[in-house]
Structure 1
Amino acid sequence: MCTASWNIDKEGLRLFFNRDEQRTRSAAVPPRFFESEGVRYVAPIDPDGGGTWISVNEFGQVAYLLNNYSKTTEGERFKSRGELPIKLAACSQRSEALGIICSLKLTDYRPFFLGLANRESLEIFGWDGCNLESIHPDLPVITTSSFRSDEVQKYRKDRYRYWMGSAGGNSTEKQRRFHFETSDSDSAFGPMMYRPDARTQSVTWLDVSSESVVLSYQEILEEKSKLEEPIVLNCKIRKESLAR
């Protein structure tokens, strides 16, 4: 029940992520600094599972996670999918992240979509419980929903087309408007969604350039949204090393 969209141009990567969750789930811990194998990274934390849905490190490497509701798997115990972005947080290059993913016992996890990005490239992988494959969306947006999945995905993609094709405003502002849009006809359909059992809990957006990573985070509360101060990391990576 999440939505991510992205844009890569000469300025770098801009990525937005709406995290949708059950209302019974604990409130997330806002993004903060961590360190893994000597590498600094930033991530919000899900206190129930101990993992995260998005991480970015000082090398400008991003990992983000969505549940794959179109696939189901049988099993008594699974590891938290939120472990995955944290496992990848120390990677200085995309090739390192790919190596880690391929080394994991993926049958320990329920189906997921995992995005790997930096300021020059983005790739999405889908795990269906049996196979891991590269995903190629027809638009720079991926969205999932456990409720009327096909209809919700079509609605959100249509709204993405509407906003990005609309006149006026720059692409960043259009992308932001898309992620904060609610549906007038059915509140479960909008990128900013509300259902009796679940709702959008937060919006995270990243700007990754050759000089820095800026992570902004807005917690979506029932009564009033809370905007955290942006977190800035100075990038260590050189341009020629990014895509490796």
Structure 2
Amino acid sequence: MCTLTYIPIDNKNFIFTTNRDEDPNRIALPPDKYINNNIESLYPKDPEGNGTWMLCNKYFSVCLLNGAFVKHKHEPPYKKSRGLVVLEYEKFKNTIEFVLNFDFVGIEPFTMIVVRYNSEILMEEVRWDGSSVHYKKLDPKRAEIWSSSTLYDETAKKMRKAWFVDWKMMDDISYSKVLDFHKNAGCNDLFNGLVMNRKELVKTTSITQIIHDKLGIRMRYEDLRTKEVTEKYMTKEKSLN
């Protein structure tokens, strides 16, 4: 929700990992399978907004971060929770259709990264800044990191990107090494580290990871408060492998 990395394993597979920075009193449910719009998907749930920040199914994976390009003024009430946007994305046959037809007005700014997989990997970025929608295709062969604009300014984003660039120079990147990065990068900086804690008002509460490989699609969710780990699996379309 507030830090996201994408790591390509090869031309057909990837690791998608996010740290959720939130009010520690806001509880989340570990991932489970749900059917929405006749599609079975896997995601953790935010009971307060009844939505999610990260989702996967046999067609695509999605992650939403708060804010677009810069920190915006919080001006409630909003029409709906941003977590519902992730679920409503499933109603559309592709991201272009979503951009052209979804009603963004009245929703707080966000950044949404979509990874679609069928005959090939397609990665897309959608940003809603409160007045305009910004869409672009991304290179699925390139590792990337995103940081929420509501919590991290440009200086912090550049510093975190430098940590990421230094880290990804290592050989033999695995999902466990990606988790280690998400737990330990900037560990001496509680304000801007990947696991952050700003005086117990906002802190990193969980790490969610989607692994898309030859074995299928799986989601690993670690609650950093309780130390409980939940893993769920689902099959994928066979056309990629």
**TM category, shorter:** 0.7 to 0.9
* Change beyond 3 A, Cα 1:39–1:237: farther
Note the alpha carbon deviations across 1:110-136, whole angstroms, 9 max, x for none.
110011103412111111111111256
Q: Choose the corresponding residue for 1:178, options 176, 181, 186.
A: 181
2:61 maps to 62
SS at 1:108 equivalent: coil
Q: Is 1:117 matched with 2:115?
A: yes
> Distance between the aligned counterparts of 2:7 and 2:187, measured in 1?
27
CA contact (8 A) 1:180 1:191 kept: yes
CA contact (8 A) 1:218 1:225 kept: yes
Q: Which moved more, 1:67-76 or 1:100-109?
A: 67-76
> Distance between the aligned counterparts of 1:62 and 1:37, measured in 2?
15
1:2 maps to 2
2:100 maps to 102
CA contact (8 A) 2:55 2:63 kept: yes
- The RMSD of aligned alpha carbons is 2.6
SS at 1:83 equivalent: helix
CA contact (8 A) 1:41 1:89 kept: no
2:224 maps to 220
Q: Is 1:41 matched with 2:27?
A: no
Amino acid in the other structure paired with 1:216? R
> Distance between the aligned counterparts of 2:38 and 2:239, measured in 1?
18
Q: Is 1:142 matched with 2:146?
A: yes
Same amino acid, percent of matched pairs: 22
Q: Which moved more, 1:97-106 or 1:123-132?
A: 97-106
Q: Structure 1 unaligned runs (5+)? A: none
Q: CA deviation at 1:194?
A: 1.4
Q: Structure 2 unaligned runs (5+)? A: none
> Distance between the aligned counterparts of 1:180 and 1:128, measured in 2?
29
Q: CA deviation at 1:231?
A: 0.9
> Distance between the aligned counterparts of 1:190 and 1:31, measured in 2?
25
Q: Choose the corresponding residue for 1:199, options 196, 199, 203.
A: 203
> Distance between the aligned counterparts of 1:143 and 1:47, measured in 2?
24
CA contact (8 A) 1:13 1:207 kept: yes
Q: CA deviation at 1:162?
A: 1.6
2:87 maps to 86
Note the alpha carbon deviations across 1:185-211, whole angstroms, 9 max, x for none.
421211111111111111111112466
1:127 maps to 128
CA contact (8 A) 2:163 2:185 kept: no
Note the alpha carbon deviations across 1:71-128, whole angstroms, 9 max, x for none.
426755211111111112366xxx5343134212212211100111034121111111
Note the alpha carbon deviations across 1:214-239, whole angstroms, 9 max, x for none.
11111111xx51111x2111113634
TM-score normalised by length of structure 2: 0.84
Q: CA deviation at 1:175?
A: 2.2
Q: Which moved more, 1:126-135 or 1:82-91?
A: 82-91
> Distance between the aligned counterparts of 1:148 and 1:116, measured in 2?
21
